[in-house]
Amino acid sequence: MPREVDYFLSSDGKKFRHIVTVDNPVSDTDEAITVHEFSSAIKKQSARYIKIKATNYGKLPAWHAGKGGDAFLFVDEVTVE
């Protein structure tokens, strides 16, 4: 899981404004297979571009099977309403 996910909006694709940060509520030591939706309700606004930045965990801790290696992030769906 990412440590947090930041959302940004832009009208021109160059100047992005930060909208919200969604923190990860899942414990680092939770070994269960988990799917978590990093979402947030925001006020209605218009934008042409969306930037999503998921902050990686970084190096895996000593208790993890892949200790010392780099953590991976897998994203399979982005929904915008």
Higher pLDDT, 23 or 81: 23
pLDDT band at 67 (very low <50, low <70, confident <90, very high): confident
Higher pLDDT, 81 or 18: 18
Q: What is the pLDDT of residue 51?
A: 95
* Separation CA 61–CA 71 (nearest Å): 10
Q: Are 8 and 17 in contact (CB under 8 A)?
A: yes
What pLDDT, in 10s, does the model give residues 7-55?
999 999 999 999 999 999 988 777 788 888 898 888 888 899 999 999 9
CA nearest neighbour of 39 among 23, 59, 56, 18: 23
Structure pTM?
A: 0.81
Higher pLDDT, 60 or 50: 50
